[in-house]
């Protein structure tokens, strides 16, 4: 079973299991499979087994825990104008998270080399002595080919098309490297907070629009483009040409970049999606109307997906998501137009994991890569 070692390690690290028997019960794996994988994890220095666990009468089980020196993961979530960076332990718990300015338009070499330097800074300032770095990973605000770690035809990322991000990052660290679309990372991170959901759709509404789909605890990537709803055609009275060259893509009306461009044309200065949220909170009608329309268009696209995939929950995250009219109009569109059976128990909610969701997702996927 793929990722099973990571799952076992996470169960121990999170305090849900401290014996092989508990791991077998919680993971559903056979006791012999659990023992084999636990031995491998102990052999790799990731788990330690010591002392006596809680006695239930009879033989006392020995107690498993994450080795204090098991290792660290360095992860980033790259945005258009800033990067969020963090160091996590192998259970996925952040030791430190920082946000740094960085301009993705500076191109891939400068951006990735800057990220590598920032990881080194974090390690020297916050890395516990003697604990090795086990892997590095980053989210990219564009389509990523999972097989090669290359960016494929991204919007608003000049110079990045077909760039080997994983290779460049790997040149700085001789370790497992994860490069993944940012909405996919957000979905993987958010899924940790929705353990009862078999099918989870996570919408990222920021400068761009993306969606990640989790099915039975695993990311559904398809061939890399799964969840990329940014260039779905939407109904509109006007006509706008998208950065991809087609008319009337969702992204051309409903992304933070599109809203900012309209507001700036109207003489209302905004620099980042958070500025749009602030305008909505201040009751600026132009901003509220734009956000409401964006939510309606996103909701109409989601309507098709909800009928088709029938998720347990839709989570709305990203820097535009705090704007209340956005989620309200997404809800209105989905509940109005979807099949009753599809929406009967459907939850549409803002993020439970908050701004670190993508970093947590990167940690989770990277751990599987480290253990592979």
**Closer by beta carbon to Zn ion, 155 or else 353:** 155
The HSE-up count of residue 343 (CA atoms within 13 Å, CB side) is 17
Tokens encoding 37? 């994988």
Number of residues that bind Zn ion (CB under 5 A): 5
| Kind of pairing between the strands at 218-219 and 144-145 | unpaired
Residue 42 in 3-state DSSP? Answer: helix
The two most distant CA atoms of the chain are separated, in Å, by 76
What gap in Å lies between CA 159 and CA 182, rounded to an integer?
A: 18
2/246 with CB nearer Zn ion: 246
Residues 6+ apart with CB under 8 A from 174: none
Least separation in angstroms between CB 77 and Zn ion: 23
Which C-beta is closer to Zn ion: that of 117 or that of 244?
A: 244
The 174-213 contact track toward Zn ion, x by CB under 5 A, reads: ----------------------------------------
Say if residues 91 and 71 touch (Cβ distance below 8 Å): no
Which of 229, 242, 298, 316 binds Zn ion (CB under 5 A)? It is: 242
* CB 246, min distance to Zn ion, A: 5
What does the alpha-carbon distance between residue 255 and residue 159 come to, in Å, rounded to a whole number?
Answer: 21
**Piece of the chain touching Zn ion by CB under 5 A; list 94-102, 111-119, 143-151, 241-249:** 241-249
Candidates 225-233, 292-300, 304-312, 341-349; binding stretch for Zn ion (CB under 5 A): 225-233
| Interface pick for Zn ion out of 10, 37, 192, 231 (rule CB under 5 A) | 231
- Nearest approach, Cβ of residue 272 and Zn ion (Å): 21
Q: Which residue has the tokens 């020995």?
A: 62
- Residue 1 binds Zn ion, judged by CB under 5 A: no
By beta-carbon proximity to Zn ion, the closer residue of 252 and 338 is 252
User: What is the footprint of Zn ion within residues 304-363 (CB under 5 A)?
Assistant: none
Q: Does 249 bind Zn ion (CB under 5 A)?
A: yes
The string over 73-112, giving b where at least 16 C-beta atoms fall within 10 Å of a residue's C-beta and e elsewhere, is bbbbbbbbebbbbbbbbbbbeeeebeeeebebeeebeebb
- Minimum Å gap between C-beta 99 and Zn ion is 29
Compute φ and ψ for 186, nearest 5 degrees: -60, -40
Task: Sort strands 177-181 and 133-140 into parallel, antiparallel or unpaired.
Answer: parallel
**Residue among 6 and 208 whose Cβ is closer to Zn ion:** 208
Please, what is the minimum distance in Å from the beta carbon of residue 117 to Zn ion? Answer: 34
Residue 219: φ, ψ to 5°: -70, 130
CB of residue 222 to Zn ion, shortest distance in Å: 18
Position 84 contacts Zn ion (CB under 5 A): no
Q: Which lies closer to Zn ion via its Cβ, residue 41 or residue 258?
A: 258
Does residue number 244 form part of the binding site for Zn ion (CB under 5 A)?
Answer: yes
1 three-class SS: coil
Binding residues for Zn ion, rule: CB under 5 A, are 231, 242, 244, 246, 249
């Amino acid at each position: 079973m793929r990722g099973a070692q990571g799952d076992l390690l996470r169960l121990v690290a999170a305090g849900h299991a401290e014996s092989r028997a508990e791991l077998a019960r919680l993971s559903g794996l056979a006791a012999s499979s659990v023992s084999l994988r636990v031995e491998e994890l102990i052999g790799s220095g990731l788990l330690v087994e010591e002392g006596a666990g809680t006695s239930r009468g009879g033989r006392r089980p020995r107690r498993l825990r994450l080795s204090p020196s098991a290792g660290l993961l360095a992860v980033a979530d790259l945005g258009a104008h800033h990067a969020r960076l963090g160091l996590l332990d192998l259970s996925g718990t952040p030791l430190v998270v920082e946000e740094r300015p960085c301009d993705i338009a500076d191109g891939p070499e400068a951006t990735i080399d800057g990220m590598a330097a920032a990881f080194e800074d974090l390690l020297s300032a916050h890395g516990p002595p003697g604990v090795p770095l086990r892997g590095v990973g980053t989210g990219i605000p564009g389509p990523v080919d999972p097989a090669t770690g290359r960016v494929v035809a991204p919007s608003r990322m000049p110079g990045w098309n077909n760039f080997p991000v994983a290779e460049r990052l790997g040149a700085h660290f001789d370790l497992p490297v994860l490069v993944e679309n940012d909405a996919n990372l957000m979905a993987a991170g958010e899924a940790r907070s929705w353990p009862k959901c078999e099918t989870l759709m996570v919408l990222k509404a920021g400068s761009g629009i993306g969606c990640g789909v989790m099915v039975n605890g695993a990311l559904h990537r398809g061939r890399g483009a799964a969840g990329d709803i940014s260039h779905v055609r939407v109904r509109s009275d006007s006509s706008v040409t998208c950065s991809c060259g087609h008319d009337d893509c969702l992204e051309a009306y409903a992304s933070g970049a599109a809203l900012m461009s309209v507001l700036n044309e109207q003489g209302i200065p905004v620099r980042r999606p958070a500025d749009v949220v602030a305008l909505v909170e201040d009751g600026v009608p132009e901003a509220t109307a734009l956000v409401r329309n964006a939510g309606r268009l996103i909701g109409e696209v989601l309507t098709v997906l909800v009928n088709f995939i029938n998720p347990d929950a839709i989570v709305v995250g990203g820097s535009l998501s705090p704007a209340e009219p956005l989620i309200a109009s997404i809800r209105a569109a989905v509940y109005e137009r979807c099949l009753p059976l599809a929406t009967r128990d459907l939850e549409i909610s803002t993020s439970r994991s908050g701004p670190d969701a993508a970093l947590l997702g990167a940690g989770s996927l990277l751990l599987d890569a480290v253990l592979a």
